[in-house]
Structure 1
């Protein structure tokens, strides 16, 4: 059971960072994967690479915050499998500013992609997840959803909301054989954090206050996501696992 053999999975934001690492992790464990991303060239290149390596991986170009793209993903899953075992809501963005500096458009964009899109996509794919009788949704939240990390209020708000979305859907959909869990990463080396990691004044405090004294790697998050997706975690639902090198365990 320490595998994902014959599982059908959808992973959003699957060409970079944690999403890409999760695609590779799932495939190595025996799953078939449909991954999404907005950049057509990146989707096509990654899909070709994976298929050349013998994996059952398929890319779908789209923005999961757009209704028509959610519809396109629904149609792809319906035609390809007609059933779904795993949904990983990983796609996310951030714009780092002081609270008073955000435009309404920027605020809505962050909330739309990080919070609204996972809810709408989970609801849309619900029939396929229910049909499997043993499904798992994993939402990628953030330490910013449980504490202030000085990375912008809308981002923290969206990730906190995603944690509560996780808990509510977990209790509502448990009777349908759908488990819903979240992970909350701390600083992880991804394209989303690459600019910050270059700033000595930003990264030094992170390393100083993280008990493990380092930045996480994307594959370390992917392995936790894989556990939630496996049948081995069959009695785990409604949980938010903070994967943070110990930062939330210390006040110093």
Structure 2
């Protein structure tokens, strides 16, 4: 049962960081994968890399915050699969500023991509997930959902909302055979965080606060996502797995 053989998985934001690691992990575990990303060149390059690794997957250029992109994704699934076993809502953005310095357009964009889009995509793919009879949605949240970790208020708001979205849908869709869980990483080495973590004044307090004395690697988060997609986790729903190296329990 430690496998994803035959499982059809949709992974958003699949060419970089945690999304990229999740695509590779799912393929290695036997899943069929459809991944999305906004940049056409990134999608093409990653598909070629996967083909060289003999891990073929399908990539679609898609901004999941846009209705048209969601419709394109849904149409592809209808024409090629007819069902979805796993949805990983990983795509996300951040803009780090003090609260008073955000434009309305900026903070609404963060909320749209990180919170509204997972809800809309989950709803749009609901019938495909229900067809599975044993589907799993995994939302990639953040430690920022429950603590102030200096990522900016809109990002924290969006991830906190994503946790409650996870809990509510887990209850509402349980009768449809759809489990819904979340993973909340602490700082993880990805293209999104690289510039921030390269600053000594930023990385030192993070590492000092973390008992394991390092940030996470993307593959450490993807393994949790894979577990939540497996039959091995069949009695887990509505939960948030915190992967933070012990940061949240380190009072001193």
TM-score (norm 1): 0.99
**What is the CA-CA distance between 1:55 and the residue it aligns to?**
2.4
Which ranges in structure 1 are unaligned for 5 or more consecutive residues?
Answer: none
Whole-angstrom distance in 2 between the partners of 1:239 and 1:209: 24
Q: Give matches, 1:68-79, under 5 Å.
A: 68-79=68-79
Provide the residue aligned with 1:20 in structure 2.
20
1:10-34, Cα deviation, whole Å (9 max, x unpaired): 0000000000000000000000000
- Partner Cα distance (2:62, 2:23) in 1: 17
Q: Conserved in 1, the CA contact under 8 Å of 2:47 and 2:56?
A: no
Task: Kindly indicate whether the alpha-carbon contact (under 8 Å) linking 1:32 and 1:55 is maintained by their aligned counterparts in 2.
Answer: no
Equivalent pair of 2:36/2:60 in contact (CA under 8 Å): yes
- The residue number in structure 1 matching 2:229 is 229
Matches within 5 A, 1:166-181: 166-181=166-181
- CA positional deviation for 1:150: 1.3
Cα deviation for residue 250 of structure 1 reads: 1.7
Counterpart CA distance in 2 for 1:150 and 1:93 is 15
Structure 2 partner of 1:219: 219
Match of 1:186 in 2: 186
Paired position in structure 2 for 1:135: 135
Q: Cα RMSD between the aligned structures? A: 0.7
Aligned to 2:247: 247
Partner of 2:94 in structure 1? 94
Unaligned regions of 5+ residues in structure 2, if any?
A: none
State the 1:47 CA deviation: 1.2
**Cα distance in 2 for residues equivalent to 1:56 and 1:190:** 23
Question: C-alpha distance in 2, partners of 1:45/1:209?
Answer: 37
Tell me if structure 2 keeps the 8 A contact 1:12–1:89.
Answer: yes
State the partner residue of 1:119: 119
The 4+ residue runs of structure 1 with deviation greater than 3 A are: none
Map 1:56-75 onto structure 2 (within 5 A).
56-75=56-75
Look up the SS of the partner of 1:55 in the other structure: coil
Q: TM-score, normalised by structure 2?
A: 0.99
C-alpha offsets along residues 194-214 of structure 1, whole Å, 9 cap, x if unaligned? 011110000000000101100
**Aligned equivalents of 2:189, 2:48: Cα separation in 1:** 24
Supply the distance in 2 between the matched residues of 1:176 and 1:5 (Cα, whole angstroms): 22
